Amino acid sequence: MKLYDLEVSGNCYKVRLFAALTGIKLELIPVDFMAGEHKQEPVIGINPLGQLPVLCDGEVKLWDSQAILVYLAGQYADESWFPKEPIAQAEVMQWLSTAANEIQHGPGAARLVDKFGFELDKATALATADRILPILETQLAQHDWLALDRPTIADCAVMPYVGISHEGGVSLESYPNIRAWIDRIKGLPGFITMPAL
């Protein structure tokens, strides 16, 4: 199973983290983002958006980190990570959507501006971070994990861009429950890190 990967990408790290926590073996294929390899074959042939990560598992070819997490959890991990029961599954999915929206466009986008020089609206990214982090803090004040009172793919999806939010000028100093949650994830057997985390 191959993962077309960028080491500093939080979206790629989500997949690497989940695979490490569950013992799923991935062959990492580094993609030279600065040279534009993500806009060339084989990546562009699988993901027409030219984005990473991209997963190839035999005939299965997937893009989007949240979709890849759902696939890997359903295909290779025990059901605790992504349950089949509809209400429990929906509880996890709402956090996957948050990861792809508010987290990506808040702390994630602020990091793209500061660390990589992307021409995005930093003020909007910071405002989005200021809206979502208190919601995350409140959830984690009441629960150790985002969904179902146990680690799930929701935690793998949301944590990376929150954990490296300082690279975009977003501080977690006033969010003790978020910081404690990140530490809990770091304490899980098999945990791996990424640069700046």
Residues 83-110: tens digit of each pLDDT:
999 999 999 999 999 999 999 999 999 9
Q: Does pLDDT of 34 surpass 80?
A: no
Nearest of 14, 25, 22, 53 to residue 156 by alpha carbon: 14
Q: 115-149: per-residue pLDDT in tens?
A: 999 999 999 999 999 999 999 999 999 999 999 99
Domains contained in the chain, number: 2
Percent of the chain with pLDDT over 90: 90
Query: Which CATH number covers residue 141?
Result: 1.20.1050.10
User: Poorest-confidence range of 32-36, 77-81, 133-137?
Assistant: 32-36
Q: Does pLDDT of 152 surpass 90?
A: yes
Q: How confident is the model at residue 82 (pLDDT cuts 50, 70, 90)?
A: very high
Mean pLDDT value of segment 66-86:
97
Mean pLDDT value of segment 151-176:
98
Q: Does pLDDT of 66 surpass 80?
A: yes
Assess contact for 4 and 43: CB atoms under 8 A.
yes
Q: Where are the beta strands (DSSP E) in the chain?
A: 2-5, 27-30, 54-57, 60-63
Give the residue from 23, 47, 76 where a domain finishes: 76
Query: Measured between alpha carbons, how far is 66 from 145 in angstroms, rounded to an integer?
Result: 18
Query: In angstroms, what CA-CA distances link 153 with 30, 34, 47, 96, 170?
Result: 23, 29, 22, 8, 24
Q: How confident is the model at residue 6 (pLDDT cuts 50, 70, 90)?
A: very high
Q: pTM of the entire structure?
A: 0.95
Assess contact for 103 and 132: CB atoms under 8 A.
yes
Give the residue from 76, 101, 116 where a domain finishes: 76
Q: Which two tokens stand for residue 138?
A: 């409140």
Q: 171-186: per-residue pLDDT in tens?
A: 999 999 999 999 999 9
User: What are the backbone angles phi and psi of residue 63, rounded to the nearest 5°?
Assistant: -130, 170
| 129 and 38 belong to one structural domain | no
Q: Which residues form the domain of 173?
A: 86-186
The amino acid at 166: H
The count of other CB atoms within 10 Å of the CB of residue 107 is: 29
Assess contact for 75 and 132: CB atoms under 8 A.
no
| 178 and 92 belong to one structural domain | yes
Question: Strand, helix or coil at 176?
Answer: helix
According to the model, what pLDDT value does residue 140 have? 98
| 156 and 129 belong to one structural domain | yes
Q: Does pLDDT of 2 surpass 90?
A: yes
Give the residue from 44, 76, 108 where a domain finishes: 76
Q: What is the mean pLDDT of the chain?
A: 96
